[in-house]
Chain A
Amino acid sequence: MTASRLLVLRLFALALGAALLTQIVSLHVFGASSLGLDRSSGERLRVLDVVPARGRILDRAGRPLAVNTPQFIAQIVPADLPADADARRGALARLEVRTGIPYAGLERAVQAGLASVDPLAPIAIRDDLTRDEATALRAAMSGVDGVIVEARAQRQYAGGDLLAHVLGYVGPIAAGDTEAYLDAGYGLDARVGQGGVEFSYEDALRGVPGEDLVVADAAGHPLRVLEARPPEAGADLVLSIDLEFQQTVRAALLEGIAAGVAGQEPSQWPNPDSPREAGAAVVMDAHSGELLALVSYPSFEANLLGTQPDDEALAALIANPDRPLVDRTYMEVGAPGSIFKPLVAAAALQEGVATPGTQVTSRGLISIRDQFQPDVYYVFRDWAAHGTLDLYGGIARSSDVYFYYLAGGYAQNGVQLFEGLGNDRLARYARAAGLGAPTGLDLPGEAAGLVPDAAWKDAAVGDPWVLGDTYTLGIGQGYLAVTPLQMAVAGAAIANGGTVLAPHVVAALQRGETLTPLGVTSAGTLPVDAANLAVVREAMRRAADAGGTALTGKPAGMTIGGKTGTAEFGRPAADASFDTHAWYLGFAPFDDPEVVVVVYLEHGVGSTHAGPVARRIFEAYFSRGAQVTR
């Protein structure tokens, strides 16, 4: 290496150093004055967070469901109030006039604040000032330190208790979640989505916070902005739910609930918490998974949990034995009863266990011998002696014996007369249809439900799986536990040709004029051939036609597919009868299904009580079809 080559490198390094030195010195020496920062008077730089406006929530037709309204708050900072006793008295007296809060109360609050750990912590004295009051108060108290009048964004929900579960609310960060939210750039005093779409779409609703780099005076008050990074406002959520349609569905459901409770003899309530006026209705687009209505009753006033929660009302809400906070469409599980049968039929057809012509004779019951004690028989009843039925008739008449056969088969004196699906195959199809796991709904807290099998029973109950378990599973009872939403997903899979949809309540994000649809998400496919699904749909058409059990759900002049369910629960009454849940699963129109409806009543009979609710929902859907599909 020659010395001249090294010299080139040295000179290069020197040149770089000189260029940097010039810029460094000029920044240090002249930078502050170019920023206009007067350090001698204590001016300094601050970075202020700028919180973006939270996105609104709109219904399908664009009606606002959640908006931000300004809330005007008057606060006092005890330590900042005039130290001089007379001056403070004067200030508090003026405050009394403007806010209507008695002088004695103000004085007490100030003394308590001064004696507290942090006398600089602002104390809110009024949080319900009108805009005019706030302006007047600000003017009256100008020049007095220690009184702050400020506007905050408050979340205001529309629709009363119609959509409380779906919307959720906005509240302070819970103690256990602090770390995660701080990492995501939230302030400690931030209000974040808690439940409903407010929670699950928090990121979109929140927007992107901005920052201002400001010159502040010695006390920290911003004087001017040096550099601003403007916040990006949150996106508006457009729900797939139509507020008016939701209202109609809810009215229909309430009638059904009342009828269901009234329809059962009061003397029959063997369960301590019966009768409970509760129910749910799910209306879902059969091809997209968009939820057009999602009604759970009882509900609660959405604003109750909002910005300024009313502690007493909240405590009452939590203590309410009817558990209004639980959304019965997707948070609570129960046995589906006979609306599970179409799925059993689909599985039996696909596995070759049955054909549309497979005949089974129901004499009102079948009995099986105990596996271990030959002289003990168990009796499995049908709700009527239907005689001989094919698969269409089995569904249309909802014969239990027919489905005991399909699920568990039938043997007599050691001779297998009918080969059933067996528990494993049946459970596999039930899971493929979306049961036993959350559907992927875009709301928090979804229940998984349970599709029971031998391994589960051994672990959870401690008993071996027996034929009787397969029989009860075959008619949608026993350990099987589903949400109404899961049944809507399974019903849609039968209606749309096998697509198991992930249901959702948010249809699109709206930023300014730009609408971004969220699209269809599929959770899988029901592995049943189209021809077999067509057989099941035809059977459901016959069920919802003259002579079928599901006729009560059919609107006049329209062809639909339907199925009722009446599921026993709780303890038996003295006459060995049970309380029953009422279910209805239907899709319409029959030829090209658009919409799936699931009705669930905590008390009632499927055909008598749930069916008419479904009928009213179908009628409402088709009479307003054009508006619903915007």
Chain B
Amino acid sequence: MMAIATRRVDPWLLLGTGGLLLLGVGVAASVGGAESPGAPFEGGPGARQLLLASAGVGVAGAASMLDYHLLRRHALWLYLGALALLVAALIIGVDIHGSRRWLGIGTATLQPSELAKVAVVVMMAALLAGRAASATLTLVALGVATPAIALVVLEPDTGTALVLATGSLAVVIAAGAPWRVVASLLIAAVAVVPLLFAVAVPDYQRERLAVFVDPARDPLGSGFNVRQAEVAISTGGLTGDGLFNEGDSSLEHVAGRGSDFVFAQVGEDLGLAGTLAILALFGLVVWRGFEAARAAPDAFGQLLAAGLTSIMVAQAALHIAVNVRLFPATGITLPFVSAGGTSVVTVCLIVGLLQSIAAQRPANVREQWTAARWR
């Protein structure tokens, strides 16, 4: 039977995305409420996040209308554009806390590494789709990701680099890379990491790793932050102390309270209920993402959906792992929830693309029946 391309909304994807965005607005307002009690939404982080979430919904809507095949045609230009922005960030970027991750545009800032995540996956999917998987092709595809990862490492932004690396590995695995190649790469990585650690890892990263191993060792306060995140989640208990409570937060003095430590903030405010909700909503989004990959009508759509979903998995997992002390302190945002304009808009763009792929899945029997009935 012929596949019918209809514009259909994936309700589960929509639900997961909306839930996470709303939670993000709530937490931002909570952080802002601590600064101006009584009016959490007037100006400040709450209003800003609401605006960002709305913009994100708009971007997602626009992207979902798009025929994703358009991306394949322009993949190279998207990819080169993203690399150019990364280089620009290094050269003329805004230096915040010793890291050049942002491009200043008027009063706003743009984080090119966020856009690079999408561009790299698009480029790799375009390269791999329709070609027979081989060791050479796998290495070429990973070679496409390498410059982007290297530029992000230089910023330095280890967290985003890790996400990019995991995402690109997921794309080649989905494309059928020979297992022996994947295994060799992983073994090589394990062998190279100690060497890199000795030569190329900046002192602050080494310090963070040391702090992770021994939080009492704390010259820079990074261990204090990690410990505070852990304490915040612990004190949250089952239901937390509410989004707009007026008591002290143990995260009060943590700089990335609304971004890099937003999961801990939710844990403190909403307790286990809140953190489980985040996990469940992400489960929903990821499930629908992989579902879109399975049902996509062509290889490009499949690889694109699998890659974009894996990017989200990697980033969310990394953020939560840092917050619950399963991973060394690394500044990385929680998709949808963390404050941070480019982060929110990018992840909404990803959802929009997933929706665009999902919309072209072959209709199932019930949908065909419904369509026939309303014809």
Contact = CB atoms under 8 A, between A and B. Distances in A.
Contact of A20 (B231, B272, B321): B321
Contacts of A9: 170, 173-174, 290, 306, 309-310
B233 interface: yes
B58 interface: no
Contacts of B207: none
A46 B231 CA distance: 11
Interface stretch (B89-97, B152-160, B220-228, B338-346): B220-228
B35 to A, nearest CB: 12
A226 interface: yes
Interface string A1-29: 11101101110110011011101110111
B306 A229 contact: no
Contact of A32 (B234, B293, B302, B320): B234
Interface string A306-335: 000000000000000000000000000000
A16 B228 contact: no
A229 B254 CA distance: 13
B231 A211 contact: no
B366 interface: no
B248 interface: yes
Interface stretch (A37-45, A117-125, A492-500): A37-45
Interface stretch (B6-14, B112-120, B275-283): B275-283
A368 interface: no
Given A1-B175, A1-B303, A44 B247 contact: yes
Contact of B235 (A12, A21, A23, A35): A35
A158 to B, nearest CB: 34
B250 interface: yes
Contact of B237 (A8, A28, A46): A28
A142 interface: no
A75 to B, nearest CB: 23
B253 A27 contact: no
Interface string A532-576: 000000000000000000000000000000000000000000000
B148 interface: no
A24 B317 contact: no
Contacts of A39: 235, 237
A6 B326 contact: no
Given A27-B230, A35-B234, A2 B176 contact: yes
Interface of A, secondary structure class, is helix
B286 interface: yes
B290 A227 contact: no
Interface string B268-308: 00011001100100110010001001100001001100100
Interface string B46-69: 000000000000000000000000
Nearest to B276: A24
Interface string B237-259: 11000000001101011000000
A1 B228 CA distance: 44
Contact of B290 (A6, A29, A34, A213): A6
Contact of A28 (B170, B224, B228, B272): B272
Contacts of B170: 9, 12
Contacts of B224: 211, 213, 227, 229
Contacts of B293: 1, 6
Contact of A45 (B231, B321, B324): B231
Interface in B154-185: 170, 173-176
B313 interface: yes
A1 B176 CA distance: 7
A47 interface: yes
B248 A5 contact: no
Given A6-B293, A213-B224, A213-B250, A28 B176 contact: no
B294 A6 contact: yes
Interface in A177-212: 211
Contacts of B233: 24, 27-28, 31
B310 A5 contact: no
B302 A1 contact: yes
Contacts of B290: 6, 9-10, 13
Contacts, number: 126
A44 B248 contact: yes
A34 B234 contact: yes
Interface residues of B, number: 49
B327 to A, nearest CB: 10
B236 interface: yes
Contacts of A2: 176
A266 B253 CA distance: 66
Nearest to A30: B234
Contacts of A3: 294
Contact of A13 (B173, B276, B286, B303): B286
A32 B309 CA distance: 35
A31 B317 contact: no
B267 interface: yes
B57 to A, nearest CB: 25
Nearest to B283: A17
A548 B117 CA distance: 80
Given A1-B176, A229-B218, A31 B313 contact: no
Nearest to A46: B248
Contact of A25 (B218, B248, B272, B306): B272
Nearest to B227: A227
Contacts of A27: 230, 233-234, 267, 324
B234 A47 contact: no
Contact of B221 (A5, A13, A35, A229): A229
A312 B276 CA distance: 64
A499 B166 CA distance: 58
Most chain-B CB neighbours within 10 Å: which of A6, A20, A29?
A: A20
A21 B286 CA distance: 16
Contacts of A211: 221, 224, 253
A21 to B, nearest CB: 6
A12 B235 CA distance: 30
B230 to A, nearest CB: 7
27 contacts: A1-B174, A5-B175, A5-B176, A6-B294, A6-B306, A9-B170, A13-B290, A16-B313, A17-B279, A17-B317, A20-B324, A24-B275, A27-B234, A28-B271, A29-B272, A31-B231, A31-B233, A31-B234, A45-B231, A46-B248, A47-B228, A213-B224, A213-B228, A226-B231, A227-B224, A227-B231, A229-B224
Given A28-B267, A47-B252, 6 more contacts: A1-B299, A6-B290, A13-B313, A17-B283, A24-B267, A229-B221
Interface of B: 170, 173-176, 215, 218, 221, 224, 227-228, 230-231, 233-238, 247-248, 250, 252-253, 267, 271-272, 275-276, 279, 282-283, 286, 290, 293-294, 299, 302-303, 306, 309-310, 313, 317, 320-321, 324-326
User: Closest 9 interchain pairs by CB?
Assistant: A31-B234, A28-B272, A1-B302, A16-B317, A45-B250, A229-B224, A23-B324, A13-B313, A27-B233
